[in-house]
Chain A
Amino acid sequence: EAGVAQSPRYKIIEKRQSVAFWCNPISGHATLYWYQQILGQGPKLLIQFQNNGVVDDSQLPKDRFSAERLKGVDSTLKIQPAKLEDSAVYLCASSLSGASRDKSSYEQYFGPGTRLTVT
């Protein structure tokens, strides 16, 4: 079974530029998550999708960050314009379903991440 795919793996941009990240979850996984992990910290959930609907985006800085999952499969996360403090690893994860308490549904599988450096 193929894992969660993310691209690009690395990105360097200047502040005020725009950037987009792509994620393809494991086939059949209904729930997709985007996390921001700043160096030395634990991941912070930015947004959670259930199929193509947003379940939780309470920690997404909506003035500059946007995300979509139009067909309920792959997803893009965009930052426009980028700030220095956006430098981080952006992790995508997927799970079978976010709705049930069953272990098989909430166990998240993570992609390799995209390391963003804003200069």
Chain B
Amino acid sequence: AQKITQTQPGMFVQEKEAVTLDCTYDTSDPSYGLFWYKQPSSGEMIFLIYQGSYDQQNATEGRYSLNFQKARKSANLVISASQLGDSAMYFCAMREFPADNYGQNFVFGPGTRLSVLP
């Protein structure tokens, strides 16, 4: 069974500093994908970054990077140079890619609320 753990219910960071949001996962499938989404107060989910289990390098998208440690089953999100607009809920998610090639049961973690302080 899949499981996503985000141990930080809330985080604070000073504007322009970097912040790391933790995510650990549990799966027995060798092929899976890890995602991070941002959910501002408006409610819409915004895709940020993706890491495949077989990807050799850590994913980066602008100010977002994913610190992928496969042996530890962790996929932490690093936001560099935080901005006030980064204040939001952040969700880590995972899906497995079973042999029939259809992704099953996209699972989200409980989320971390990030507050960027001026």
Q: Interface on A for B, CB 8 Å cutoff?
A: 33, 40-45, 48, 50, 55-56, 58-59, 89, 91, 93, 98-101, 103, 106-113, 115
Contact = CB atoms under 8 A, between A and B. Distances in A.
Given A100-B101, A101-B33, 4 more contacts: A43-B108, A107-B47, A108-B45, A112-B44
Contacts of A112: 42-44
- What 4 A-B pairs are tightest by C-beta distance, nearest first? A42-B108, A110-B45, A43-B108, A98-B103
A58 B1 CA distance: 13
Interface string B1-23: 00010000000000000000000
A42 B110 CA distance: 5
A50 B97 contact: no
A110 B101 contact: no
A106 B52 CA distance: 11
Given A42-B111, A44-B108, A50 B102 contact: yes
